[in-house]
Structures are given as structure tokens and as C-alpha cells.
Amino acid sequence: MVLSWVGRNRDPEPASAGGTGWRHEVAFTPGRVAGEALALTFAFPYAEAMNVELTSDQQAFARRAIESGRFRTEEEAVREALALWEERERRRAEFLLTLDDAKACLARGEGREITQESMRALAQEVKERGRARLLAELSPR
């Protein structure tokens, strides 16, 4: 599955003029269906600045990161945290698309029931194919 990610774009209409301030777009392109894309747009209804109150533990954590030289400012630490959250959400969306693809395969009857017996049969089938390929490679032509 191919996943393309379109990052943050400024909303042409700032919040002060009635716009959202930010627009977040994500485009997913499943690899099996060339050309088809699922595009999701998330509009966040906040102004250009957002005030967030951190717990005392979170503040201490950010201060330690600044003191250690990992970040220069609290804002930088929060931006990094949001970037990590964004990446986790991208991976979650990718997983959900993969899950939907698997469910569609099962609905079409393309799945394989997993039991101890079916796994033994699959292992035997793989062994037989491997042996046949090895014999074909070793046989004089």
C-alpha cells in the first residue's frame, strides 16, 4: 500500500476573517487500486495561536528537555510532541486502510482460515514447493 501524506497548509482565510486559520489535509492512495485516492481534510477551528495549559509534570518534563539542550524553548518541545502525535495518527490511518483492505479480501473469499491444521497444511505446501524448486534447479537441463 502506498501512503502519501500532504502536510499542513495555511487556510487562505485567517480566523480573524472568519476562516479556520489552519487546514490539514491527508491523502491516501491504496497501492492495489491505481489512481484511486481517499482524501480527508480536517479543518481545525482555532485561531493562529492556541493556548494550552500543561500539567506540572508536563512542564517539568519540557523544562528538563530544555535544560539538557534537547530543545531551546517550550514551544519547540510542544511542536515536537505534536509532530510525533501527527506521525502516530498517520500510521494509525495507514493501519486502518490496511485493515479495510484485509476485510474486503475476506469478504471476496480470498482469505484463509487460520487453525493449527491449516497452518500445518500451509507449512507442508511451502516445503513441497521449496523442494520442487530445488530439484528443478539441481536437475541437469
Residues ≥6 apart with Cβ < 8 Å to 111: 102, 105
Alpha-carbon span 86 to 21, nearest angstrom = 18
Greater pLDDT, 139 or 43: 139
Digit-coded pLDDT (tens) for 52-108: 888 999 999 999 999 999 999 998 999 999 999 999 999 999 999 999 998 999 889
More confident residue, 103 or 2: 103
CA contacts within 13 A on the Cβ side of 74: 10
Separation between Cα atoms, residue 49 and residue 53, nearest integer Å: 13
Q: Which three cell numbers mark 35? A: 489512481
Q: Is the pLDDT of residue 1 over 70?
A: no
Instruction: Tell me if the pTM is above 0.85.
Output: no
pLDDT tens digits for 6-63? 344 444 455 555 554 444 444 444 444 444 444 444 445 544 677 888 899 999 999 9
More confident residue, 17 or 122: 122
The predicted structure's pLDDT at residue 141: 72
Rounded Cα distance between 22 and 130, Å, is 55
Confidence of residue 116 (pLDDT cuts 50, 70, 90): very high
